[in-house]
Amino acid sequence: MNKKEKKKAPAKVTKVLHPLSRKAKKLTLEGIRDIKKEKNATIRKKEQKPIKQLLDHLQEIIKKENKKTFTEYEISEIIDQYLLNKAPEEESKQITSRTNKSEYSKTLYNDEIKDFKTNGYALPDLTNSNYVKFLINWDGDMKYITQQTLPLKRFKYIEPKNEMETESESK
């Protein structure tokens, strides 16, 4: 045996905290806080997902139309188009486990349409040019969307006029 092998320093032992100590309590509270922050962030993202989809759709239409303001009739058409795009797709081969999901999505869609036709649909006021400009320049980050920067207004469903009705009215 070499003398060098005998004289090795013992490995450092990590300090073990007493479970009832102040430091242990502080560390556990920090861990719990981090878990709550992550949980709240995921909930917030889940809640903001439909709003973000709507704003992305509006932004796409605004850039395509290249208008400064929209009339209430045009906004009603935009909402109607958005709800049609959001409609659940019919599946010819339904698996029993997915039937509840498809029924739920159909009822949700029907409720949204009924709500739009009776109470109206809340979205940014596109009749104001400032909010239209804001949506054009928006980079897609939800942290800039607040009630002050982009207030929501309820727009009700406006029935499209038939061409025959407008011709008979003009005569």
Please state the domain count of the chain.
1
Q: Flag whether 64 is in a domain.
A: yes
Measured CA to CA in angstroms, residue 38 lies from 44, 60, 66, 136 at distances of 10, 31, 39, 31
Do 65 and 136 touch, CB atoms closer than 8 A?
A: no
The whole-number pLDDT of residue 167 equals 47
Task: Compute mean pLDDT per 10 residues along the chain, 171 residues long, and list them.
Answer: 61 80 93 95 87 86 86 86 75 57 80 82 84 85 76 80 52 46
Q: Flag whether 53 is in a domain.
A: yes
The model's pTM is: 0.61
Sign of CA dihedral 42, 43, 46, 50: negative
The whole-number pLDDT of residue 25 equals 94
- Rounded Cα distance between 160 and 151, Å, is 26
Beta strands 152-155 and 121-124 are: antiparallel
The CATH number of residue 75's host domain is 1.20.1440.170
Do 120 and 155 touch, CB atoms closer than 8 A?
A: yes
Q: Flag whether 12 is in a domain.
A: no
Q: Flag whether 77 is in a domain.
A: yes
